[in-house]
Amino acid sequence: MRRRDFLGCTLAGGFVVLLGCRVALANAGRMVIYKDPLCGCCESWTAAMRAAGFAVEVHNETDMTAIKHRFSIPADMEACHTAMLDGYLIEGHVPLEAIRKLMAERPDIAGLAVPGMPAGSLGMGDDPQAAYEVYAFSKIRGAAPTVFHSVRPAI
């Protein structure tokens, strides 16, 4: 939500306005997801994005390699599905916490990735005991990815 929208929500009165503000907060943005039509874990991740309030547009693709090349996903960051959100690439089973952090901080990166398909990640069982890294990858081709967010079991 942009600052002026937030101010409008907090300064305006009335139930209808407040309801509209709640909807604006819930609708996190438009996400375009490219996935294999037969991939169940991609369906689960997509459902989680919808449940989080994203307006999801799905493109079922049989050649995901072409999608990875089209968006210049680094080979070591590739996973099963690719999404676009507000100019950022989201590669693989990136958890909601990392996506929220990305949208709040808006770093100068190409996107986030959870390489491969880690067991317990969002869409792969969503296990609270899972442990894996979410990487930020650069707009500069060949630059090393950095850890953006760590998923660790709750103690």
Q: How far apart are CA 114 and CA 78, in angstroms?
A: 8
pLDDT band at 141 (very low <50, low <70, confident <90, very high): confident
pLDDT band at 154 (very low <50, low <70, confident <90, very high): confident
Q: What is the pLDDT of residue 143?
A: 94
Q: What is the second-level CATH architecture of the domain 29-151?
A: 3-Layer(aba) Sandwich (3.40)
Q: Which DSSP category does 136 fall into?
A: E
Query: What are the sequence ranges of the domains in the chain?
Result: 29-151
